Chain A
Amino acid sequence: MSRMTDRPLPGAGVAAAAPGPLSTAVGPEPVKSAPSGAGRGTPRPGRGGPAGRRSPLARGGWTPWLYLAPALVVIGGLLVYPVYQLGLISFLEYTQAQVSGGEPTSFQGFGNYAALFRDEQFWQVLLATVVFAGACVVSTLAVGCALAVLLTRVRAVPRLALMLAALGAWATPAVTGSTVWLLLFDPDFGPVNRILGLGDHSWTYGRYSAFALVLLEVVWCSFPFVMVTVYAGIRAVPSEVLEAASLDGASQWRIWRSVLAPMLRPILVVVTIQSVIWDFKVFTQIYVMTNGGGIAGQNLTLNVYAYQKAFASSQYGLGSAIGVVMLLILLAVTLVYLRLLRRQGEEL
């Protein structure tokens, strides 16, 4: 007790603002808290008790599994089993000949992976895919978020028009969208070249212009998801907060950065991860717009590469190895991303 009277605790210092001698203010504290502290230590009469009567608790531990069983069976059947098969096939020599029984299946160890990693083209394609997917994610999020904010600032009619346009883009099948974009930029018949006066400039001939064209299409068909989700999030933000911010004289950009973005963080995390996964796996747009990977394969992404290298020629073992590598990359990216957010002190 002497220590307390000599030097008040930091917490008590605040309380010291109230008049009165410190010793009397702090003195009774331990006495008051004593029963609750003891309460935590001693078992409550209702729970626990002698060791022989612990079975209800045990039964309680068993029941959740029962309730979880249907979900676990479904997840096991639909997720775990296929992934397990994917992993298994990636270690086998498994082509059409093995599937239809023309040749026996043989175990290859890491043979498929070794073949894949030895292929120079794989590394080039991997790099191109990472950069391309990164550009797509950033562009999609920027466009989606900007338009979501815009949606909250315009009147009902333009908002409806923008929503419908976005939903239209969203609902368009990827093959159709890609074909239409390709036609828009066609060197001979495309309106874009005519309007810009580019003559018969070919957009798909150069590597970067072809990637840029595909990027436009990918952004066009995937920003609506971001826009609608973020828009829903913004609507859920209490208007008082935004009002307070604008009363303080914050600019639109400042409100987004300091108020909306932190409040929308969980939503932004979800759309970012979604976009990373989608854009990393892009297939249709590349396949259709660059005619299966562009001039001399300059526009190949990992998925199209896997298709050409493995699935089109029924090398399922090699294809599975590529699938496993992609799975691991995406898992790693997602985990690292979540980890970074955690470190910033945000609970998801």
Chain B
Amino acid sequence: MKLAHLSARMAAPIAALVVAGLTATACAPESSDNSGGKDEKSGTLRVWLFQEVTNAPKEKVVDDVVTAFEKAHKGTKVDVQYIPVETRAEKIKAAFNDPKSAPDLIEYGNTDTAGYVKDGGLADVSEEFTDWSESKDTDPTAKQSVTVDGKIYGAPYFVGVRALYYRTDIFDDLGLDVPKTQEELISTAKEIRQAKPDLYGLAVGGAYTYGAMPFIWSNGGEIAEGKGGSYASTIDSAAAQKGIKAYTSLFGDDNCPAAKCAGMGGNDTVTAFASGKAAMAIGGDFSHAAIEAGKVKGKYKVVPLPGVKSGEIAPAFAGGNNLGVLRSTTHRTLAVDLMEQLASKKTQGALFDAMGFLPTFTDVRQDVAKREPFVEPFVKTLGAGAKFVPASPAWSQIDASLVLPTMFQEVVSGRKDVEAASKDAAKKMNDAFSSAG
């Protein structure tokens, strides 16, 4: 009787206590341990590569490497999975969160390097990379894309770079010369628009950051300067502002109307060119297939994007992917070995033949340019010195919160002038640099 009486009064508080107790045990949200530790010399190696639009040729190249690898390492199996590019961020984050089911080796976009390193996901392979005989021919920009604070976190897999696509038939028709300077490029674009008002002279996009950056870089501007944790944005410097002015002058009824072009991204400009709506576009070597499949097949050529002075090439953004070993791997030696095999000169050459991916080794790249004249302007562009985004973990934050597209769009839509827009962008970037460390 007494007990029942007691429990009546106590039930609610006890329930509350139990709930509190349950939650208290899970008080701080979890952190996973990615330190790995073991280095087994046999077993199964798990590899995640990106699923390409037409993946079969890539699979074949990879399968050949894997077969040779399994033969050379008795008792080792390699399990390769192809993950969709659209959901890679979630997958790779999930892998960092759950080291037990994570792969040993991954392919990743080179702008993510600094972020993944800060997340504690990638293993430092500086020693192995330096000892690797083939690494001395790696192009410096590609090497920069696997380097954070002087340490190397992977092997460059391939690079992607953009150049100027133009319509040969329209240029012949109007008797135009291929532009040799940035100024000529802009005036040629406007000339074409005037003669053919239903075409964009040069298709540009307010959200096409990597199409706009060459204008800033060729004028001597930079996104940010500094090293490691202490980056400071220089997007509002006089040189950078000059580049922003040049790029945004292409938006308007005399080339690419702001109402349509302000919202366009890189793919939209390539689609406009492929469907015959633009006389010129800034597209990548990876856009080749899409343009070949469009209306303009056989009616276009590619040249490096001209710089400020005649004969100069505007520095392009060196996009591309890397391979990296996860810090949580329990097969470190094997995984690094497989990484070197998958990113070797031989494999990259085969991958170019299969997929058209540009190799990251300067000598291999020159070889393939001889075999396939189409890539020549892209190789030339890379040879002239491509640029990379700041190797800061803040970059993914800056990218996700659309700092640069917002800046271009503010100028293009007349909301702010170049100075105000670039100052605001610099402030946002500096906030991100200081908060992400």
Contacts and interface: CB of A to CB of B under 8 A. Distances in A.
Interface of A: 55, 58-59, 61-62, 65, 72, 76, 80-81, 84-85, 88-89, 92, 94-105, 115, 187, 200-202, 204-205, 291-297, 308-309, 312-315
A55 B1 contact: yes
Nearest to A205: B259
Contacts of B8: 58-59, 61-62
Nearest to A59: B4
Given A105-B29, A291-B265, 5 more contacts: A59-B4, A88-B27, A96-B96, A99-B119, A102-B34
Nearest to A58: B8
B401 A96 contact: no
A58 B6 CA distance: 9
A173 B435 CA distance: 37
Pairs A-B, 4 closest by C-beta atoms: A102-B120, A100-B96, A312-B400, A313-B397
Give the interface SS of chain B, mostly helix, strand, loop or mixed.
helix
Contacts of A115: 435
16 contacts: A55-B5, A65-B11, A72-B15, A88-B28, A92-B29, A98-B31, A99-B30, A100-B31, A102-B120, A103-B118, A105-B29, A187-B259, A308-B400, A308-B402, A312-B401, A313-B399
Most A CB contacts (10 A, CB to CB) among B119, B260, B410 go to B119
Given A58-B4, A297-B406, A315-B397, A202 B259 contact: yes
Given A100-B119, A103-B120, A291 B263 contact: yes
B306 interface: no
B119 A97 contact: yes
B209 to A, nearest CB: 13
Interface string B380-413: 0000000000000100110111100010011011
B121 A100 contact: yes
B258 to A, nearest CB: 7
Nearest to A294: B263
Contact of B33 (A85, A92, A101): A101
Contacts of B32: 99-101
Contact of A102 (B4, B121, B409): B121
B15 A97 contact: no
B413 A309 contact: no
Nearest to B398: A313
A65 B15 contact: yes
A263 to B, nearest CB: 39
Interface residues of B, number: 50
Nearest to A102: B120
Interface in B1-36: 1, 4-5, 7-8, 11-12, 15, 19, 23, 27-35
B31 A105 contact: yes
A314 B93 contact: yes
Interface of B: 1, 4-5, 7-8, 11-12, 15, 19, 23, 27-35, 93, 96-97, 115, 118-121, 206-207, 258-260, 262-263, 265, 393, 396-397, 399-402, 406, 409-410, 412-413, 415, 435-436
Contacts of B11: 62, 65
A81 B23 CA distance: 7
Contacts of A89: 29
A80, A89, A97, A105 — which one has the most chain B CB atoms within 10 A of its CB?
A: A97
B33 A313 contact: no
Contacts of B7: 62
A165 B116 CA distance: 48
Contacts of B96: 96, 99-100
A294 B206 CA distance: 11
B322 to A, nearest CB: 18
Given A59-B4, A100-B120, A309 B402 contact: no
A28 B417 CA distance: 92
A311 to B, nearest CB: 8
A67 B259 CA distance: 62
A40 B415 CA distance: 76
A297 B402 contact: yes
Given A100-B119, A296-B409, A62 B4 contact: yes
Given A55-B5, A96-B115, A314-B93, A101 B34 contact: yes
Given A96-B93, A200-B260, A293-B402, A105 B12 contact: no
User: Which of B31, B260, B409 has the most C-beta atoms of chain A within 10 angstroms of its own C-beta?
Assistant: B31
A107 B217 CA distance: 40
B395 to A, nearest CB: 9
B198 to A, nearest CB: 10
B19 A76 contact: yes
